[in-house]
Structures are given as structure tokens and as C-alpha cells.
Amino acid sequence: MKGHLEKVEGGFLYFHSGGAGKLKVAWKYVLSLHVPESFAVLEKGVHIRQDRPNLRVPEGPFEVKGQILTVSSVSGAIRVPIGKITHIIDAKTYEKTVYGNPRLWQGWTGSVSGGASFVQSTQSLETFNSSIALVRAIPVVSWLEPDNRSILGFTSTYGSIAQPNTPTISTGIYHGNAEQDEYFPETSMPLSRHSMTITQLLG
């Protein structure tokens, strides 16, 4: 089969073939493979952090015969058992991800929601709600060791009750929180954690 290898992840090879389209193939079905493009081969137990490349990660074209993958790196041929491989990433993506630094506004995920309700009867009731929950985990790929995580949250509830010949009653509750975690090298345990919570009640 001829095609272009995109990546290897979770024990599967992801190909793009002109005739068959995108393919997902398990390692056990691969008897031999020749890839002329340069890829980075990641093994179990090899830790990589943002801006700190690991010299134990071989890069280069590779071929597979049986249960052995051989990388033609600049330092010579490096043999890696298939069972020890966790990821294979094209060299350009690997270097861009390892050496790159996401900008402050990049890498955020989360949700924003809002709602309102109105009731008109003897009393007039208005309620407004909003919520923002954001998380930014750096790096954004699973094969790099965690470096830091930022969490931002904000919720608000505002309501008012009005009826004839009485003052309008308004109530507002605003809650905000922020957290910043820094991680130990080669672990998933936070090295330091800074958090702040603010709640304000207006009535």
C-alpha cells in the first residue's frame, strides 16, 4: 500500500492514501513499512517538556521490519522495539510544538453561557444569569509533560422585583475565581498553586 503517514498514536498508524483516503491501522497488521520523510519517535519513559528537547528522541526517516523500527538519525541507525513506541510525529510538527510558546490568548478551552427570565403579573420579576469557565493547559498536546495550567471562572446572578407603590428590590451576586498551577518536572503533580476567589453580594 502506498500513502502518506500522518502520525502514530495509541498503537495505531494514521495514513492518507490517494485511493483509499484516510486509514487507521493497528501495529499488529504492519509487517514492513518504509517512510522517507523525517519523523520523531517517542518511547515509553522518555519525558519531554516545552522548550526542553530530549536528546533521546531520534528523528529521521525510518523503516519497520517485524517488531523493530529503525530510525536513520544524524547520529546513525537507532533501533526501537514497536512495543515501546508511544507516538510518532512528523519532525516539523514535533519541533514546532517543543520549541514553540503559545501566546497568552492561545490554548484556552471552556464555555460561556447566559440566560434571562421575565415574569409579569401583580409583581414584575426579572432575572439574569451568566457564567464563564475557562481552562488553559500548557502544553496542549498529550505527549509533552504538563508545564502549567490556568483556570478562570466567573458567575453572576442579578434579579429585581417590582410592584406598584413599593420600592423595587434588586439583588446581585457576582463570583470570580482564578487559579495558576505549575508542575514538577517529569510528574503530573503541581509544584505550586496560586488561587484567588472573589464573591460580592449587592442588594
Strand arrangement, sheet containing 148-162: 108-120, 124-138, 148-162, 169-183, 190-202
Q: Is the pTM of this model over 0.75?
A: no
Write out pLDDT tens, residues 85-133. Answer: 999 999 999 999 898 877 888 889 999 999 999 998 888 999 999 999 9
Amino acid identity, position 178: A
Q: In what helix (H) or strand (E) does residue 61 lie, and over which residues does it extend? A: strand 59-65
Between CA 140 and CA 103 the distance in angstroms is: 12
Give just the sign of the alpha carbon dihedral 42, 44, 50, 56.
negative
**SS3 call for 174:** strand
State the residue for C-alpha cell 500500500. 1
pLDDT of residue 192: 57
pLDDT top residue among 16 and 71: 71
State the residue for C-alpha cell 478551552. 109
From the list 57, 21, 66, 17, the residue with the least C-alpha distance to 39 is 57
For the chain, the C-alpha Rg in angstroms (whole number) is 26
- What mean pLDDT do residues 47-54 have? 80
**Assigned C-alpha cell, 19:** 485511493
Omega before 36 within 30 of 0, i.e. cis: no
pLDDT of residue 48: 87
> Among 15-19, 149-153, 164-168, which range has the highest average pLDDT?
149-153
CA dihedral 56, 62, 63, 69 (to 10 degrees): 10
Q: Is the pLDDT of residue 60 over 80?
A: yes
Q: Which ranges of 41-180 would DSSP assign to H, the alpha helix?
A: 91-99
pLDDT of residue 33: 92
